[in-house]
Amino acid sequence: MAKPMTASDENGMTDGQIDDMADKFRAALRKHRVDIPSDVAQQVAGIPNLGMKLFEVIRELVEAMTGLVVRLVENIDRTRSPQQVIDETERKQYVDSDVVAAMPRGDGDTAKLTFFKPAKSAYKNGVLSCTALQREYEKRGLEPDAEALADYNKKNPEAADKEPNACQWIDAQGNFCGAAFGRWGGERRVDVDRGGGGWRDRWSFAGVPKESSASAV
């Protein structure tokens, strides 16, 4: 299962930050205590994983502020052929077999997949050029791992229904290539091909940190 993580996970919150957030939440509860009956509050306090439910609110705020969303993708089978990776997504395929065969692949069975949306200023007339997207990857210290992205979409097929996602790379001949996941015409599909025409602003893009191996956590 792909597990969500915040983009700040590398450094982690300090004890002081945790205490500050906890103090503010405690103060809000005390300020509005009359708004919640004691017996109902007791029921809420007994909800399983209440702490994690409250933490999700903080996570959403962090992701909105950083513009990065990190998902931990586990149990990646790196022994599969690239075509097997695509087949296992169970999506309608629109692919070039040569491009599929040369998809970028990471190491290890776990990947920290980082999704990002380029700044609006990177688009020209509503289109992000492939060259500009390459700069966006470099700016964030990310590189593509199409295998990890395919597994993420396999395990979370509805994710690309809401917002299509993709990764881009440059092949040995210097061509821009991409793997794209989305839903069009009522079908979930995957496109793996050479490109160059650029990307519309509906896309989010994914990569893994460059500073470690493609799958390091």
Share of the chain above pLDDT 70, in %: 89
Residues 113 and 184 in one domain: yes
CB 214 within 8 A of CB 174: no
In a domain, 217, yes or no: no
pTM of the model: 0.70
Q: What is the mean pLDDT of residues 141-149?
A: 96
In a domain, 123, yes or no: yes
What pLDDT score does 216 carry?
38
Of 66, 81, 106, the position where a domain reaches its end is: 66
Note the residue count of the chain: 217
Give residues with Cβ within 8 angstroms of 213, minimum separation 6.
Answer: 106, 107, 108
**pLDDT higher than threshold 70 for residue 179:** yes
What pLDDT score does 121 carry?
86
Residue 211 identity:
E
pLDDT in tens, 59-93: 777 765 567 899 999 999 999 999 999 999 999 99
What pLDDT score does 57 carry?
85
Of 66, 82, 105, the position where a domain reaches its end is: 66
- Residue whose structure tokens are 């061509």: 175
Range of the domain at 43: 9-66
Residue 133 DSSP class:
H
In a domain, 2, yes or no: no
Rounded CA separation 33/39 (Å): 12
Rounded CA separation 106/129 (Å): 25
- Across the chain, mean pLDDT equals 89
**pLDDT higher than threshold 60 for residue 10:** no
Specify the number of domains making up the chain. 2
Of 51, 66, 81, the position where a domain reaches its end is: 66
What pLDDT score does 1 carry?
44
**pLDDT higher than threshold 90 for residue 159:** yes
Residues 103 and 155 in one domain: yes
In a domain, 203, yes or no: yes
Query: What single string gives the DSSP state of each residue in 163-211?
Result: S-EEEEEE-TTS-EEEEEEEEETTEEEEEEEE--S-EETT-EEEEEESS
